[in-house]
Chain A
């Protein structure tokens, strides 16, 4: 990376590089295209229906129709879906990370019979999209009588969250010096103590990254929730938004207010924890 103080120059060069300026302008143009949908949605969310039909797409709302938000909240039953999404995410995300971390520890430190097979199965699992087999997942959850329950959605979420997290954490735990854990074990510490006292503290940044990635993934998940949570009282935010769209598609302002409310929590989390996203994503996929 050429982290020089004055922009538009090649490393070590005095002159402004015209190609870099051109590149920058091109990036700004793409950025305008990328941001346009957000602006359009936010503008529409604050317009009354009459204004939507009467004014141009990018003309800012003249009077702010905040009632779109309260109306959408009420008609879309956001009170219920927000609570459901919160309960599911708050239980699933820490619990999933916990079991993944424990599994990754034992795979990297304890020689269990068949641990190579388990590891291969897990790596394989990171690549198989569950969207491909929604029906058998439904069947399995149904056979435990857990359709329309929080447990019924959390268990498959855990199952499909495990592979990626174990894969990343396993890679990280392998780098922890062997001497460190072996010394502790010889001193009579249990594996659980070693895990909790040594491995968890040193891997905090990775754990944080995975936590945040998983928060967003769980918060946004749609397909699995669609087959398992069929009772509107158990719907999560994405299901609620989908139903809102099919019922009130012609209430443009309210529909867009509903979109904004659905997207906002994940967007805020992202903006606060940005750097963790990048490190969480790339620590697994791209390793030099």
Chain B
């Protein structure tokens, strides 16, 4: 049977853990020994009410997601619009902007951690060379700044991804329509507003949703740059779930956080899937 290996692998190692995490979230268990027992809603009570870190992580995830849906797509859109024009050096430029996407996120984290180095890093060296020593920061060590510093590295990492999707969308804009509008005397901005932008609507939706979902995945870059610190100021839900389960040895609480995050993800994914399937059927 051709379907079996894929379905089996998926069911055992992807689907089952997704169900299992719900069950685990009602248990007290350290992940290793046989002592595992039902505790009802205790984990949720702890996580949502007693745990001071959860809501910090929740807020950070919210800020992070919000920024991720705005900045990388916007930059990617700008780059794609530029690269879609008749200018020299398009291919090398496109290759360069996409390059960070294929680098291991953990390597991106290591790179940026070194660039943010308070003493010899790129940023502080540039600032002191430019004569603005008062702008020098402890980029990853200051709890008011750290989250945004990590985010700058993240923008560099992922903007190319949006750019490629937008470029593909722009290639799909009907040239006959563009020509027709131009002959009718449409100016550059009218063309953009009334032809290009409407044609890009599906692409924009796809990019926004993918950016949103990818932002919930941001684990490696935070883990590598700050590990959630200083003072939990860059802690996120995915990483806090990992920390609770794998480092503090409380699988129940870790799973409860995972369930909250899964619910949020599902709430975004389901409407998107319905939209995709509807579009596919219309396309056929």
**Interface set of A (CB-CB < 8 Å, partner B):** 1-4, 7-11, 19-20, 23-24, 26-28, 30-31, 34-38, 40-41, 44, 52-53, 56-57, 99-100, 102-103, 105-107, 110, 112, 115, 118, 120-125, 127-141, 155-156, 158-160, 162-163, 166, 191-192, 195, 216, 219-220, 222-223, 226-227, 237-238, 241-242, 245, 252, 255-256, 258-259, 262-263, 266-267, 269-271, 274, 277-278, 281-282, 285-288
The total of chain B residues at the interface (CB under 8 A) is: 96
Whether A136 contacts B122 by the Cβ 8 Å rule is no
Known: A106-B3, A135-B242, A285-B210. A2 touches B106 (CB 8 A): no
What's the Cα separation between A281 and B98 when bound, in Å? 12
A-B CB contact pairs (8 Å), 27 listed: A7-B86, A20-B87, A24-B85, A27-B93, A34-B100, A34-B156, A38-B99, A41-B114, A53-B120, A56-B125, A57-B121, A102-B2, A110-B2, A121-B15, A123-B277, A129-B216, A132-B216, A133-B241, A134-B245, A135-B254, A136-B17, A137-B17, A162-B10, A223-B223, A237-B104, A267-B103, A282-B168
List residues of chain A with CB within 8 A of the CB of B31.
Answer: 135, 138-139
B18 to chain A, nearest CB (A): 6
B14: which of A23, A118, A125 is its contact (CB, 8 Å)? A125
- Asked if B158 CB lies within 8 Å of chain A CBs, one says no
Known: A136-B255, A223-B220. A37 touches B125 (CB 8 A): no
A-B contact count (CB 8 A): 297
Closest 5 CB pairs of A and B: A135-B245, A159-B13, A103-B6, A220-B104, A136-B17
List residues of chain A with CB within 8 A of the CB of B69.
Answer: none
Whether A31 contacts B265 by the Cβ 8 Å rule is no
What's the Cα separation between A56 and B213 when bound, in Å? 39
List residues of chain A with CB within 8 A of the CB of B255.
Answer: 133, 135-136
Majority SS of interface residues in chain A?
helix
B24: which of A130, A139, A258 is its contact (CB, 8 Å)? A139
Interface segment, B47-55, B76-84, B131-139? B76-84
What's the Cα separation between A57 and B273 when bound, in Å? 47
Interface positions, chain B 60-110, Cβ under 8 Å from A, are: 79, 82-88, 93, 95-100, 102-107, 110
A145 to chain B, nearest CB (A): 13
- Asked if B154 CB lies within 8 Å of chain A CBs, one says no
What's the Cα separation between A105 and B2 when bound, in Å? 8
What's the Cα separation between A244 and B7 when bound, in Å? 38
Taking each of A112, A121, A124, A286, which has the highest tally of chain B beta carbons within 10 Å of its own beta carbon? A286
Whether A270 contacts B102 by the Cβ 8 Å rule is yes
Known: A37-B122, A134-B245. A128 touches B262 (CB 8 A): yes
Interface positions, chain B 115-143, Cβ under 8 Å from A, are: 115, 117, 119-122, 125-126, 129
Whether B262 contacts A263 by the Cβ 8 Å rule is no
A30: which of B79, B169, B223 is its contact (CB, 8 Å)? B79
Closest to B169 in A: A286
A36: which of B14, B122, B216, B242 is its contact (CB, 8 Å)? B122
Whether A256 contacts B114 by the Cβ 8 Å rule is yes
Whether B107 contacts A263 by the Cβ 8 Å rule is yes
Whether B112 contacts A122 by the Cβ 8 Å rule is no
B224 to chain A, nearest CB (A): 6
List residues of chain A with CB within 8 A of the CB of B95.
Answer: 271, 274
List residues of chain A with CB within 8 A of the CB of B156.
Answer: 34, 37
B93: which of A31, A216, A267, A277 is its contact (CB, 8 Å)? A31
A241: which of B99, B107, B129, B241 is its contact (CB, 8 Å)? B107
List residues of chain B with CB within 8 A of the CB of A138.
Answer: 31, 245-246
What's the Cα separation between A41 and B99 when bound, in Å? 14
What's the Cα separation between A263 and B79 when bound, in Å? 24
Taking each of B7, B14, B172, B283, which has the highest tally of chain A beta carbons within 10 Å of its own beta carbon? B14
Whether A8 contacts B82 by the Cβ 8 Å rule is no
- Asked if B231 CB lies within 8 Å of chain A CBs, one says no
Whether B103 contacts A266 by the Cβ 8 Å rule is yes
What's the Cα separation between A59 and B24 when bound, in Å? 54
What's the Cα separation between A133 and B164 when bound, in Å? 29
What's the Cα separation between A197 and B99 when bound, in Å? 36
List residues of chain B with CB within 8 A of the CB of A238.
Answer: 104, 106-107, 220
